[in-house]
């Protein structure tokens, strides 16, 4: 693992690291914030999965999460959203290819050679993190924005007991019924081959549930709101009577101004679950 940068940050350390990924067959980069408490022993870990077109850097720089994580003694990991490199397949569409991994394991060419983001996030990167840093594997939580909210919700529900809590900012909630989200997932997995119970948060909540609390924030001024389908997730939460906080935030759009506005709430929400 190569250290690309390390900076003092709110009493802790914000690092950026690169490693060779077996899952994605290329070098992958991630950001990791470690609070001051990590100098004395393992600390809880909050995963932040980013959305379309983002790298590890967007949330790391724009979300303002480190300040709140430092207050609670929580580490933050900011993975990349896809494999990258000259030999990695790409597409002119912004929601397919590099920057748009959708947190699935692609089975269709040309994507299947590298796009195994589910395995990378759920299996490989955890091994890298817990073997290399002072992190407590028994205390994890997960959040994400947009495509990353989709990933956070579906991965949390697929691994019972791993995450104490899950939250999302403007997540893609019901891709099996959203043409905008369905198209890239069909490109990766093949039309008719998608296990939507695994890759659709609404269906997964009904089928698998989630043992911990959930927090969802959605802006009413979000330009993608019709494709995100927040009402579908609200309905699934109601039908399953899952303990959740679902907030429609008046006038907020899809940007990091929205994410940073409510980041303090999300970190505090996860801290309560992690230290319960």
> Phi, psi at residue 221, to the nearest 5°?
-95, 15
Tell me the three state secondary structure of residue 83.
coil
pLDDT at 276: 87
Judge whether 40 counts as a catalytic residue.
no
What is the pTM (predicted TM-score) of this model?
A: 0.97
With a pLDDT cut of 90, the percent of the chain lying above it is 100
Cα(137)–Cα(8) distance, rounded to whole angstroms?
24
Quick: pLDDT tens for 60-104.
999 999 999 999 999 999 999 999 999 999 999 999 999 999 999
DSSP-assigned letters across all residues of 199-266: H-HHHHHHHH--SS-EEEEEETT-TTHHHH-HHHHHHHHHHHT--EEEEEETT--SSHHHHHHHHHHH
Of the candidates 146, 167, 178, 204, the residue annotated as catalytic is 146
The mean of the pLDDT values for the chain is: 97
Quote the number of domains for the chain: 1
Cα(66)–Cα(36) distance, rounded to whole angstroms?
11
Are 165 and 140 a contacting pair, CB within 8 Å?
Answer: no
Residue 157, both tokens: 């529900």
Of the candidates 178, 217, 222, 266, the residue annotated as catalytic is 222
Q: In the predicted model, is pLDDT for residue 143 greater than 90?
A: yes
Of the candidates 56, 199, 254, 266, the residue annotated as catalytic is 254
Range of the domain at 173: 2-274
231 pairs with which residues across the strands?
none
Judge whether 254 counts as a catalytic residue.
yes
Judge whether 200 counts as a catalytic residue.
no
Quick: pLDDT tens for 18-60.
999 999 999 999 999 999 999 999 999 999 999 999 999 999 9
Residue whose tokens read 């369905």: 182
Q: Output the domain CATH number for residue 89.
A: 3.40.50.1820
DSSP-assigned letters across all residues of 147-179: HHHHHHHHHHHHSTTTEEEEEEES----GGG-H
pLDDT category at 271 given cuts 50, 70, 90 is very high
pLDDT at 110: 97
């Amino acid at each position: 693992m190569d250290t690309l940068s390390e900076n003092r940050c709110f009493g802790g350390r914000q690092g950026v690291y690169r490693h060779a990924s077996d899952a994605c067959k290329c070098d992958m980069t991630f950001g990791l914030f470690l609070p001051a408490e990590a100098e004395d022993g393992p600390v809880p870990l909050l995963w932040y999965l980013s959305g379309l077109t983002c790298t590890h850097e967007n949330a790391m720089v724009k979300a303002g999460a480190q300040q709140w994580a430092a207050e609670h003694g929580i580490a933050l990991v900011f993975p990349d959203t896809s494999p990258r490199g000259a030999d990695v397949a790409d597409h002119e569409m912004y929601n397919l290819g590099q920057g748009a991994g959708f947190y699935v394991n692609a089975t269709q060419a040309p994507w299947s050679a590298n796009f195994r983001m589910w395995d990378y996030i759920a299996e490989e990167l955890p091994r890298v993190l817990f073997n290399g840093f002072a992190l407590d594997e028994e205390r994890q939580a997960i959040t994400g924005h947009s495509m990353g909210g989709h990933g956070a919700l579906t991965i949390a529900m697929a691994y019972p007991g791993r995450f104490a809590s899950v939250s999302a900012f403007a997540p893609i909630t019901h891709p099996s019924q959203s043409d905008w989200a369905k198209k890239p997932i069909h490109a990766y997995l093949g039309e008719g081959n998608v296990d939507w119970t695994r890759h659709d948060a609404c269906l997964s909540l009904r089928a698998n549930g989630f043992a911990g609390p959930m927090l969802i924030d959605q802006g009413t001024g979000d330009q993608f709101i019709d494709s995100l389908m927040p009402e579908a997730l609200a309905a699934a939460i109601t039908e399953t009577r899952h303990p959740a906080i679902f907030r429609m935030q008046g006038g907020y759009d899809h940007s990091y101004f929205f994410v940073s506005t409510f980041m303090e709430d999300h970190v505090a929400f996860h801290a309560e679950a992690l230290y319960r």
